[in-house]
Amino acid sequence: MPVTVSPHPSDCELRVTARPIVNTPVIDGANMRFTSTQIGLSGFATLLGSPGDSAMGFNVGFIQAQYVETNWCSYRAAASADGSILVQRGRAPARSQRACRDCVDGTSVTSIFYNTNVAFGEIAPGNRGQPFPQVLRVRHFDQPAETCPLRLRNTLTGQMNLLHEAQLEFLFCALLSVKDPFARFRHLMGVYWNTRWQYTFQQPGFRPIINPAGTGSTVGTPFRGDPSDLRFASVLTSPAETKSCNDIFRAAAGAFNPGSPNRHESRVWTDFSVTVP
């Protein structure tokens, strides 16, 4: 079946409608919770075709990759003799060092698109019987977040160690893409964005002290065309990806378990190197 319908390479738009603002971490039950406000994007793509062509099977939507994750938490007891702990959730073996494809819970990572539930407006199907050009509008929402336990028991000293410092960085690229009926993708536009937190916590009460250099958010200028960024190009549409970023980083919580190679304990207060796994 010849397909003459195709996306217009330049008659498209990607607009930033909301920039994330990083919140101060808050205590949430037994955890410290790191959140931000939303990133919002809106966009459209234009499908070209001839009279009699059908746009059925085409979809416009967002694809998102996360290409950098920094994720460590350090813990200290009240006295040096009660020990300290570093937990590295962002490095192997807790997680692989490569990028991942980001899909919401409820959307399979094999669907490629970020969110295939049409009720959210993240995906727009081409219409059969509608004249060309067809303008398909979509929007994108994300609000990444993370938690760290407030307390861990140091297995060397037997004492409870309290959350002392955390650094979290999530770097993403979101793409406005068109999928044709043969499951081929064309990336029309994209934007880089990130959220970052670096805080120390003072006792009593885990009072958060910001490190301004490590805290904030950035949204880049939308760009046109296929991204050539080798840090994540291979995961954008690969059918080999079986786990979403949510799946991968939830599994990385195993780094907190005693005996994990990503958990480093000391009998005294230690300034751990955060470059270790």
Binding site for other proteins (CB under 8 A): 21, 23-24, 26, 28-31, 33-35, 37-38, 40, 64, 66, 100, 102-106, 114-115, 117, 119-120, 122, 141-147, 149, 170, 172, 244-246, 249-250, 252-253, 256
Kindly report each contact of residues 105-113 with a partner whose C-beta sits within 8 Å and lies 24 or more positions away, as own/partner: 105/246, 107/244, 109/241, 109/242, 109/243, 109/244, 109/247, 110/239, 110/241, 110/242, 112/63, 112/179, 112/185, 112/236, 112/237, 113/59, 113/61, 113/62, 113/63, 113/177, 113/179
Q: Which is nearer to other proteins, 81 or 251 (CB)?
A: 251
Amino acid at 44: F
Phi-psi region of 106 (alpha: psi -120 to 50; beta: other; left: phi over 0): left
Q: How far is the CB of 52 from other proteins (least distance, A)?
A: 31
Q: How far is the CB of 1 from other proteins (least distance, A)?
A: 32
Q: How far is the CB of 51 from other proteins (least distance, A)?
A: 31
Q: Which is nearer to other proteins, 104 or 135 (CB)?
A: 104
Cβ atoms of residues 85 and 74 within 8 Å: yes
| SS3 call for 169 | strand
Q: How far apart are CA 244 and CA 28, in angstroms?
A: 25
Q: How far is the CB of 244 from other proteins (least distance, A)?
A: 7
DSSP 60-75: EEEEEEEEEEEEEEEE
Task: Classify strands 207-210 and 185-202 as parallel, antiparallel or unpaired.
Answer: antiparallel
Q: Which is nearer to other proteins, 163 or 189 (CB)?
A: 163
Q: Which is nearer to other proteins, 121 or 181 (CB)?
A: 121
Q: How far is the CB of 102 from other proteins (least distance, A)?
A: 4
What is the number of residues in the chain? 277
Tokens, residue 217: 């958010």
Q: Which is nearer to other proteins, 56 or 145 (CB)?
A: 145
Q: Which is nearer to other proteins, 66 or 215 (CB)?
A: 66
Q: How far is the CB of 66 from other proteins (least distance, A)?
A: 6
Q: How far is the CB of 53 from other proteins (least distance, A)?
A: 29
Q: Which is nearer to other proteins, 62 or 132 (CB)?
A: 62
Q: How far apart are CA 211 and CA 198, in angstroms?
A: 5
Closest to 268 in 3D by CA, of 166, 159, 163: 159
